[in-house]
Amino acid sequence: MIPQKKEPEEKKEFSRREFLKDAALLVCGATLGTLTLASSCNISSTTSTTPAPAPSSSLFPIPEPTLSSAPTPAPTSTLPSTSTFMPTPTSSPTPSPTPSSSSIPTSTSTPTPTPSFTPTSTSKPTPTPTPSPVPIPVPATSACAITSPPPNMEGINTHPEVYGTGADPKIITLGPKVGANPGWPVYPDKLGMEFELENWTPVLAPLDMVLIGVNNRGAVYRIQNGVKQSPFNDLGLFFESNSPDWPKMIVFIYHLFSSPLVLKDSQTEVEDWDSKVLRAQGHLFYPRSDYMAPEGAISCDAMIGRSVKRGELIAFAGSVGTHSMAPFCFKVSDTSVNPTVQKGNPYLHWVQPSAFFYWKSYRPDAVFPSGVLAYPFECDGYQLPAELHDVNFKYTSKT
């Protein structure tokens, strides 16, 4: 038995020697799906008749600091005159008179003018430009729904029984819009598909990738449509692909209980899911936009920038009420423009995970055709070492 553990964009403006900071974060909710799990994958059945509708989005503004509005006067040069000078003659000079006993300047040459003082500029500095997104196509050699199947289908797509509710077809802009279980209800803007896993099941990396963002929205409970759901595990991880098969692809996993990549991943320190407590770091992705976490967010002490290899432990599945799962969402880079993007990279597209990709069970010696992803859970006899089944396990290195 596994031991239990207990868009806004950032802007900076400078006006002379003062600034105001402002940031906003769009918060999106997510819920559920149902399905019976494969006994061959050590996964038990979990059912949910109707997924809850999508939570409404909310803004979490960062308060502006109160700063003095009085302008700082520009410095001026005040240079006292220390002597009086005689002009240089332009014709035959008249002999200088004999000086009297009173003080008279000894030099009659024209002095070099002293330059006036120019104050340091307090104008708004030129910001460093953000690199423009670059369209990167899906590699023709990567097997998927818009290229071609793998050359050998042996061991491919062998565990469809683990698929839960798919993504909202209206948010899909690349590849098939409909995935597994098309008759199951789906809430608006649902970004991915649940893998129906038992609570605290180890979640594995489907490909080589690097952690770029964390959003811990977990809480003791959430009240939705008058129904209290407890627990409400909602740790979210954002990765960027390190694999040449899927350049710049974003992988978003949520409803997690804990992660060895996040030191502060408590699901109980916040009472109500709807409270305005923002615990986030790094790059965060939403249905129609992506942002950097605002400066006012509470740090999760996440290992941002740490790379993981395919098959490595990245998290443990969480629960919403009695429904345990690990939803996966994928945003794939392409040369076409995503018309739904309002902020962020317009060349990234949400795809339907069960229909867009080909999947294969992970083993250290398994050969993966180009583009094929690893099922993100233990199956077909493969098991992680015992210590990696501890939900409190943390990696010791951030690199």
pLDDT tens for residues 59-85? 333 333 333 333 334 434 433 333 433
The secondary structure of 36-88, three-state, reads CCCHHHCCCCECCCCCCCCCCCEECCCCCCCCCCCCCCCCCCCCCCCCCCCCC
Both structure tokens of 119: 């104050």
The predicted structure's pLDDT at residue 62: 32
Condensed to tens digits (0 to 9), the pLDDT of residues 82-137 reads 343 344 444 444 444 444 443 433 444 444 444 444 444 444 445 455 678 999 99
Of 59 and 327, the structure prediction assigns the larger pLDDT to 327
Separation between Cα atoms, residue 5 and residue 268, nearest integer Å: 10
Half-sphere exposure of residue 370: CA atoms within 13 angstroms, side-chain side:
12
Per-residue model confidence (pLDDT) at position 325: 98
Going from N- to C-terminal start, the domains of the chain cover 7-62+136-399
Beta bridge partners of 226: none
Residue 367 to residue 173: CA distance in whole angstroms = 30
Categorize the per-residue pLDDT at 276 as very low, low, confident or very high, splitting at 50, 70 and 90: confident
- Please determine, for residue 287, whether its predicted confidence score (pLDDT) is greater than 50: yes
Least confident of 8-22, 166-180, 224-238: 8-22
Mean pLDDT of 142-150: 99
Q: Residue 318 half-sphere exposure, CB side, CA atoms within 13 Å?
A: 34
pLDDT of residue 280: 98
What tokens does 353 get?
A: 């995970």
DSSP label at 339? Answer: T
Asked whether the whole model's pTM tops 0.85, one would answer no
Cα gap 240→283, rounded to integer Å: 10
Q: State phi, psi for 389 to the nearest 5 degrees.
A: -95, 0
